[in-house]
Structure 1
Amino acid sequence: MKTTLLKDFLKIIAKTNDNTIMGISHNTFDIIGLQFHPESIGT
């Protein structure tokens, strides 16, 4: 996902070395979203 596609109320909280978004949070509410795959060494 390109960072320009994120809405203003979302903030990137985690990225990989190649800038792939792995985590976002909401600026107002206590909500986060994470990309996690336990079978993958990359997460």
Structure 2
Amino acid sequence: QRLYVGHWNGSIFPNCSFLYGTNTFKIWHPRGPHQIEVWTYTLVP
């Protein structure tokens, strides 16, 4: 059995995340009691 370690994620702030394996940066915006809007950016080297 092989362990896949290609994706790492981490929260920088409570509403900001970075996904290392895909170079994706996400910002989470609360819009209401049961709603969240997510902005996703991809970092291109």
**Which TM bucket (shorter chain)?**
0.3 to 0.5
Which structure features the higher share of strand residues?
2
Whose Rg is larger? 2
TM-score (norm 1): 0.38
